């Protein structure tokens, strides 16, 4: 049995690689008979490939253009390799990184936050706008930054800055044939808001980290869309709910959006539980706690999919067994969350709606 599985896996992997590197028959033949590193080395001697590193090899895109894939040491496409190509948001804005560092430093005072925020006039305006938005439902208008920060809270402020940065990253790419970044963005916004509602209403705990995890959990798909567009399009076309999306990604691309997102979150020094939630959100875990970030994100994914906020049209959300039992046991409360979610989303619109041009 294990050997059959191994042969099956080899066949699938070979097929996926063959698709990826189908630039021309002779290259295909070379690729299938030699090590990828060696091909890359010989390709770099051909004029159009000159200047490319030996860790890159080409494949022909759907429109006939040549795309480049970064390979790991073993000649396979890796999450790290794709991230090297991901230039749109290699780093979060400086201010988000500094804010994350300030939050994790016990000695930080309110004045430190105040000083940092005031250095960025756009952020000041944004904070005041959010503090005065219907989401916080204040009767009196807030004009001071310190008060706005107290109202919003430091972790929410970090979430706001990250969300702000992500809006640009999720801006629609030109082709929307099988995958829409707008649709994915709405899905992430719905998951983040729903996760926060679950954490606060069901578990009476602070929902700021689950919000952050929710807004970021599928960012790996954006990386794939940007750096391995044709392969990612193949994933979206092949996906039909019979298996997890990550299975298709691993077969066709060589990695998946959970691994890529996890590495990005690690790179951005986000809290460890947020990194884990991103990495595990598609894993079916036998003993997952409903109170863990992974548990809350999976339940939120399940709830928002019932309201059709899915990343890809018709996509089913899977639920680990303990989470399904937990929802059944608290069905009344979860029904209230489903009822209130559209309203909560419209209250938070200022946070996730696109910039006015």
CB of 217 to Fe ion, least distance (A): 6
CB of 46 to Fe ion, least distance (A): 38
> For residues 56 and 218, which CB has a smaller minimum distance to Fe ion in the complex?
218
Q: Using an 8 Å Cβ cutoff, are 39 and 55 in contact? A: no
- Provide the token pair at 193: 């808001």
Q: Which of 315, 301, 307, 296 is nearest to 339 (CA)?
A: 307
> For residues 92 and 191, which CB has a smaller minimum distance to Fe ion in the complex?
191
User: What are the φ/ψ torsions at residue 72 (nearest 5 degrees)?
Assistant: -80, -175
How far is residue 216's CA from residue 236's CA, in Å, rounded to a whole number? 20
CB of 319 to Fe ion, least distance (A): 13
Other C-beta atoms lying within 10 Å of the C-beta of residue 42: 14
DSSP symbols for 162-197: HHHHHHHHTSPPS--SS--HHHHHHHHHHHHHHHHH
CB of 16 to Fe ion, least distance (A): 20
How far is residue 159's CA from residue 209's CA, in Å, rounded to a whole number? 8
CB of 281 to Fe ion, least distance (A): 6
> For residues 217 and 229, which CB has a smaller minimum distance to Fe ion in the complex?
217
Residue of minimal CB distance from Fe ion? 218
> For residues 67 and 196, which CB has a smaller minimum distance to Fe ion in the complex?
196
Which residues bind to Fe ion, rule: CB under 5 A? 218
CB of 94 to Fe ion, least distance (A): 28
Q: Name the strand (E) or helix (H) holding 69.
A: strand 66-70
How far is residue 324's CA from residue 309's CA, in Å, rounded to a whole number? 19
Strand partners, 66: 60
> For residues 208 and 218, which CB has a smaller minimum distance to Fe ion in the complex?
218
> For residues 153 and 314, which CB has a smaller minimum distance to Fe ion in the complex?
314
Residue with token string 């994790």: 104
């Amino acid at each position: 049995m294990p050997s059959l599985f191994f042969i099956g896996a080899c066949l699938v992997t070979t097929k996926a690689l063959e698709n990826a590197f189908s630039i021309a028959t002779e290259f295909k033949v070379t690729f299938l008979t030699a090590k990828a590193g060696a091909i890359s080395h010989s390709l770099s001697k051909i004029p159009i490939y000159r200047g490319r590193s030996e860790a890159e090899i080409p494949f022909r895109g759907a429109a006939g253009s040549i795309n480049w894939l970064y390979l790991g040491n073993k000649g396979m496409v890796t999450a790290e390799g794709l991230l090297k190509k991901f230039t749109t948001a290699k780093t979060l804005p400086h201010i988000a990184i500094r804010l994350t560092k300030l939050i994790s430093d016990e000695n930080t005072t309110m004045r430190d936050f105040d000083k940092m925020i005031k250095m960025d006039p756009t952020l000041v305006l944004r904070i005041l706008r959010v503090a005065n938005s219907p989401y916080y439902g204040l009767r009196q208008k807030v004009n001071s930054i310190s008060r706005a920060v107290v109202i919003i809270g430091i972790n929410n402020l970090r979430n706001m800055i990250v969300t702000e940065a992500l809006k640009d990253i999720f801006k629609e790419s030109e082709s929307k044939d099988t995958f829409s970044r707008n649709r994915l963005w709405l899905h992430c916004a719905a998951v983040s808001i729903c996760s926060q509602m679950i954490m606060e209403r069901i578990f009476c705990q602070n929902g700021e980290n689950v919000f952050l995890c929710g807004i970021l959990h599928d960012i790996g798909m954006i990386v794939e869309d940007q750096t391995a567009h044709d392969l990612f399009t193949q994933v979206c076309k092949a996906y039909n709910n019979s298996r997890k999306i990550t299975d298709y990604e691993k077969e066709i691309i060589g990695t998946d959006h959970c691994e890529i997102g996890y590495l990005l979150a690690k790179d951005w020094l986000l809290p460890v539980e947020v990194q884990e939630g991103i990495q595990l959100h598609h894993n079916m875990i036998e003993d997952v706690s409903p109170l863990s970030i992974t548990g809350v994100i999976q339940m939120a994914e399940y709830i928002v999919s019932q309201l059709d906020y899915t990343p890809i049209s018709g996509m089913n959300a899977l639920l680990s067994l303990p989470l399904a039992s937990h929802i059944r046991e608290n069905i009344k409360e979860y029904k209230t969350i489903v009822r209130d979610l559209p309203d909560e989303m419209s209250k938070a619109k200022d946070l996730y709606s696109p910039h006015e041009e």
